[in-house]
Chain A
Amino acid sequence: MTEISLSANKTANTSSTPMVKFEDITVVLGGNTILDNVTASVPKGSSTAIVGPNGAGKTTLLMALLGQIPYKGKISIASAESGDQPRIGYVPQRLNFDRAMPLTVMEFMVMGVQRMPLWFGVRNKNYSKAMSLLSMVKLDGLEKRKIGVLSGGEIQKLLLALALGQNPDLLVLDEPAAGVDYQGESVFCELLEGLRQKHGFTQLMVSHDLATVTYHATHVICMNKKVAAEGKPEDVLTNETLKAVFGIHMGLVDSNALPKCRSNCTKANCCGDNENA
């Protein structure tokens, strides 16, 4: 891992305290090593993407962060600006629920916050809060729909609205655009970018779509069980790294042909921008 690590990650790490720091994370499930001494960091205010091929352990790393699986090593998450426990919003890869379940979009939005059982209805206070979250992701008007009839893209936005309801310091997304067409994906990423700029949360996203990543990420962690490289997209996504991580066929993609990063960090200094400027 360390031998192919690029110098870019050093520049990135020294500039400010990271939002999340993974130190020597090792995960072994059923005798298979899924993560092998992963050390990486997510700068505060950044839009960080974890890239790697299928089975690289990207989702596993997120599950470790969310406390869903046992791991060896240390994960530290910076506290919120107010000094409180950091709030994490999570947008899963896909929802495997029964589509015949009569759960409405509104009920979906309030089921995690309302104490009064939903068989007595939705409280006004929760209703209006949910409506404002739904309008943030442009889903207003769908509140009475059953979630089973929503399209893949609408479900992704709904999950995003639910995560935003946490008022997150850190927003974690697992392949948010998987199963959505290209146009839907770019709409979703634009939406996310706007929300991040407005609310100033740190974003950590798993993706295997390099074009999306370079377009929307300010920091990239490139991994395949181990971290191969970490830093700014243009420094990390070099032909050598891509070949090392994705294997031979990815070498056909010319990293110079990937779109240039156009996202900015919401916190100064987070990706070493100032040093480069």
Chain B
Amino acid sequence: MPELNIIYNFIAIILPFEVLQMRFMQQALLGMLLLAPMSALVGVQVVNFRMAFFADAISHSAFTGVAIGLILAISPRWTMPLFGLLVGLAIMYSQRRSLLSNDTIIGVFFSGIVAFGLAVVSRNGNVARDVQSFLYGDILTIGDKDIISMLALLIVLIVFQTIGYNRMLFIGISPVLAKAHRVRVASYQYIYSGLLALVIILSVRAVGVLLVTAMLIVPAAAARNFAKTAGGMLWWALLISIISALIGLIVSAQPWARTASGATVVLIAFLWFLVSAVYAHLGGERSRT
């Protein structure tokens, strides 16, 4: 894919770190720089709508997506996102229809899905190695195909947040009120869940099941502390996630660190959050006096 080579060479020039002169590191960085804004873009609503548990359920379904691929002898490249999408839409469907609280519905789905995945995988000893890569992820193994699909999804997300950001805020405040104001609540909710599911499944490759939710909520939670407006929150989330991805990946590859890249990125984002919490606390003090 020659068109990506230009970008890789560009990365090597503008970031003249020794570690970034290798092709797999350039791919990893580009992957992170696409994933970070994606998770920031959907993460703003994950935080404001308290959907962290929803995100957890989908990330765990990635595992079951692979199991289904094994059964049907289809590449997990297809079964993972398709199954994740299905789970996201199914949770949203039952949430919209049921009187049970969200947590209960998601918890029930979650248990069933994880149990199914484990049951299938436990029959097949060869997959044990894959299980570990699912838990921790590995951004260093992503290829050009992954990068192209990330790029496509990022563009779709930018379009969605341009058209739907205000209405999504409204739905987050109150779906009933939004509907009374002629907002197409159901369409927005389904489209958002679908996009969220796809972002999560793509992120599982990079940072692993254990840290996907962190990628979504940590930058957005920090952004919330810094932002004075709902509009500003999106910019802060983008800024924090991109800087964390950049610093995290470079630090993880340093000879003195040699840490897992996903975990390092999340750690840097967490540092941002600590700073933001102090900032918010001081800001709160100021407004009280």
Contact = CB atoms under 8 A, between A and B. Distances in A.
B163 to A, nearest CB: 8
B8 to A, nearest CB: 30
Nearest to B185: A68
Interface in B151-202: 161-163, 165-167, 169-170, 172-174, 176-181, 183
Interface in B24-71: 47-50
A101 B172 contact: yes
A108 interface: yes
B232 interface: yes
Interface stretch (A91-99, A187-195, A250-258): A91-99
B109 interface: no
Contact of A103 (B162, B174, B179, B230): B230
A11 interface: no
Contacts of B167: 111-112
A159 B183 CA distance: 16
A111 B169 contact: yes
A103 B173 contact: yes
A90 interface: yes
Contact of B176 (A63, A100, A111, A114): A63
A159 B180 CA distance: 12
B228 A103 contact: no
A68 B174 contact: no
Contact of A66 (B48, B180, B183, B230): B180
A29 B174 contact: no
Given A107-B229, A120-B231, A97 B173 contact: yes
Contact of A101 (B99, B179, B183, B230): B230
A121 interface: yes
Contacts of A90: 176-177, 180-181
A159 B177 CA distance: 9
B232 A97 contact: no
B48 A98 contact: yes
A121 B231 contact: yes
A117 to B, nearest CB: 4
Main secondary structure of the interface of B (DSSP, over half): helix
Looking at A89, A95, A98, A121, the one whose CB has the most chain B CB atoms below 10 A away is A98
Nearest to A103: B230
B87 interface: no
Contacts of A112: 166-167, 170, 178, 181, 183
Contacts of B233: 102
A118 B174 contact: no
Interface residues of A, number: 36
A73 B56 CA distance: 42
Given A97-B172, A97-B173, A102 B166 contact: no
A118 B166 contact: yes
A117 B165 contact: yes
B288 to A, nearest CB: 10
Nearest to A91: B177
A112 B180 CA distance: 10
B177 A117 contact: no
Interface in B191-236: 224, 227-235
B169 A103 contact: yes
A166 interface: yes
A108 B162 CA distance: 17
B228 A102 contact: yes
Given A95-B173, A97-B174, A108-B173, A102 B224 contact: yes
Nearest to B169: A111
A95 B174 contact: yes
B227 A102 contact: yes
Nearest to A88: B180
A119 B177 contact: no
Given A67-B179, A107-B229, A107-B230, A30 B170 contact: no
Interface in A142-190: 146, 159, 162, 166, 172
Interface string A18-50: 000000000001100000000000000000000
Interface string B105-147: 0000000000000000000000000000000000000000000
Contacts of B224: 100-102
A244 interface: no
B105 to A, nearest CB: 15
A111 B165 CA distance: 9
A117 B181 contact: no
B164 to A, nearest CB: 8
A88 B172 CA distance: 20
Interface of A: 29-30, 63, 66-68, 88-90, 92, 95-98, 100-104, 107-108, 110-112, 114-115, 117-121, 146, 159, 162, 166, 172
25 contacts: A30-B99, A66-B176, A67-B179, A88-B180, A90-B176, A92-B174, A96-B174, A97-B173, A98-B48, A101-B172, A101-B230, A102-B227, A103-B169, A103-B229, A107-B231, A110-B166, A111-B230, A115-B166, A117-B166, A117-B231, A119-B231, A120-B231, A121-B231, A146-B228, A162-B181
Given A117-B163, A117-B165, 6 more contacts: A30-B99, A67-B179, A92-B176, A98-B50, A115-B166, A118-B165
